[in-house]
Amino acid sequence: MAGAIQPDLDLAASLFEALSRATRRGRGIVRDSYGDGEQAAHDITRSAADAAGLEVSIDPIGNLSMTLPGRDRSAPRIVMGSHLDSVPQAATSTVRRESSPAYPCCRR
Amino acid sequence: MAIRAEESAWFDIAYLGSGGAFGLLDPACLAIARSDNGQSLEATLKQRGFDPQPIRARRRLLDPSGIRAYLELHIEQGPTLVARGLPAAVVSAYAAASAFAMHAASASMAIRAPSGVPTGATPSRPRSPFFTIWRASGCNKKRPARIWFLTSGSCSPTRHARAEQDRRWTRFVLDLRSLSDTTMEVVAAEHALRRSGISAAYRVRIDLGATSDSPAAVMDSRLRARLMSLLDRPFEMASGAGTTRPCSPRSASRTP
C-alpha cells in the first residue's frame, strides 16, 4: 500500500496460529455460527483488541466492536470488519514468510 | 467489527449478523434451525447468552447515519494474493448466490456422493444421477461461456418430512454463484429443466425445498477506482465460491 501505514504481520501470524489451534478440526477449519468455533474466534479477537487498548463492546446478538477512538467522538465512524465464522471444514492454505512460522489462511 | 454468523451453511439466513445489527431481519428467522444440530436460532442465541428480542422487534443495534464508511476485510482471496506476491487487492463484487436444498429419493437405488468427495468439492467423476445435474447444466465446455459456478455439496442420507418406508431420502445441496443476475436466472431455469428430466430418466423423486437467494453486489465504480489508486500494484477480483479469482479482461468479456 502507498503511504506510511504498514501491516503488523507478527500480530497477523499470532492470530492465525491461535485461530488454527482453537478451530482446526482434521484437515479443515470449523467455526460454526454461534457455536464453539465462532465463539473461540471472537474470544481470540477480543483478547487481541484488549491487548491493543481498543474499546470493546458486544451488541445483544453477539457482534463484537473494537474501537480506536478518534478526536471527535460525535463524528461518523469508519468501520472495518468481517465475519469470523466459517463453512464446515473450510479449506486452508499455508502461508510462509521470512522469519515467521507458517500460518493458515481460510478460503471458501 | 467482528460480525456474527455470516456463513449461511449453519443458519440458512443471508447476512445474519449484519442484517440483525441493522434491524433488517425477518423475525421469522428466529425459528430457523441450525443445519447440523437442529437447534433454532432463538434457542441458540439464548444458549450463548445473547438476546433475540432486537431481531423479533426489528430493532436497530447500529445506526447507519453514524457510519461514514464501511470496509469489509476479506481473507478468502488471500491465497491468490500470496501466489502473486501482492499485499492487498480490491474485491470488486460479491457474486449472487442461490442455494437449492433438495430432498431426493429412489425406491430402487441408494443415492450417494462419490466416495472421497468432501463437502463443497467438485466431483471429477460424477456417478450418481444428481451429479448429472451438475455435469449437464454446468460444466459443458461447449455451452456459451458465462462466468458462473455450481458447487455440489452435502449429499447425505437424511430423515425427510415425507419419508416413506421404501425410500431412502438424500439431502442434496447445489450452490450457484454468478456476478450476473441474468446468468443466475438462466442457469436456475436450466437446472429446473434438467432436474425434471433426471427425475424421469432415473425414476427418482426430487422435492425441491426453499431456495436461498442473494443478489450480486457490485462495488461502486468510483470507490473501486479510488481504492485501486491507493495500491502500488492495482489488482481486483470478485468474491464468491469459484469467483474468488482475478477479473481479467478476458473473463470480464465473457460475462453476459
Q: What is the pLDDT of residue B188?
A: 77
3-state secondary structure of B190: helix
DSSP class of residue B77?
Answer: T
Residue (of B138, B115, B130) closest to B207 by Cα position: B130
pLDDT of A21 higher than 90: yes
Largest pairwise CA distance in chain A? 47
Residue A79 near residue A67 (C-beta atoms within 8 A) = no
What's residue B135's pLDDT? 41
Residue A77 has pLDDT above 80, yes or no: yes
Please give, rounded to a whole number of angstroms, the shortest distance from the CA of B86 to a CA of chain A.
10
What is the band of A55 on the pLDDT scale with cuts at 50, 70, 90?
very high
pLDDT number for residue A92: 65
Average pLDDT over residues A2-13: 75
Instruction: Quote the percentage of chain A above a pLDDT of 70.
Output: 79
Tell me the per-residue pLDDT of B198-223, one tens digit each, with 9 for 90 and over: 778 777 777 777 677 778 888 888 98
Residues of chain B contacting residue A60, judged by C-beta atoms under 8 Å apart? 50-51, 53-54, 61
> Does residue A99 belong to any structural domain of this protein?
no
CB pair distance less than 8 Å for A32 and B36: yes
CA angle A43, A49, A55 (to 5 degrees): 115
**A62: Cα within 13 Å, side-chain hemisphere:** 29
The three cell numbers of residue A10 are 507478527
Residue B132 amino acid letter:
T
Instruction: With respect to residue A51, please indicate whether it lies within any of the assigned structural domains.
Output: yes
Q: How far is A106 from chain B (nearest CA, A)?
A: 6
ipTM of the complex: 0.85
Partner residue facing A82 (CB), from B11, B54, B73: B73
Report the residue of chain A nearest B229, measured CA to CA.
A2
Stretches where chain B sits below pLDDT 70 are: 101, 103-173, 210, 240-256
- Give domain status of residue A73, yes or no: no
Is A40 part of any domain? yes
Residue of A nearest to B55 (CA): A61
Mean pLDDT, residues A53-64: 98
- A61 in a structural domain: yes
Q: Which residue has the higher pLDDT, B125 or A71?
A: A71
Residue A106 lies inside a defined structural domain of this protein: no
What residues make up the domain containing A36?
A: 9-68+81-91
Total domain count, chain A: 1
Kindly report the pTM of this predicted structure.
0.69
Give B181's contacts (C-beta < 8 A, 6+ positions apart): B96, B215, B216
Which chain A residues are within 8 Å of B7, Cβ to Cβ? 33, 83, 85-87
Alpha-carbon gap, residue A85 to B91, rounded angstroms: 19
For chain B, say whether A100 makes contact (Cβ under 8 Å).
no
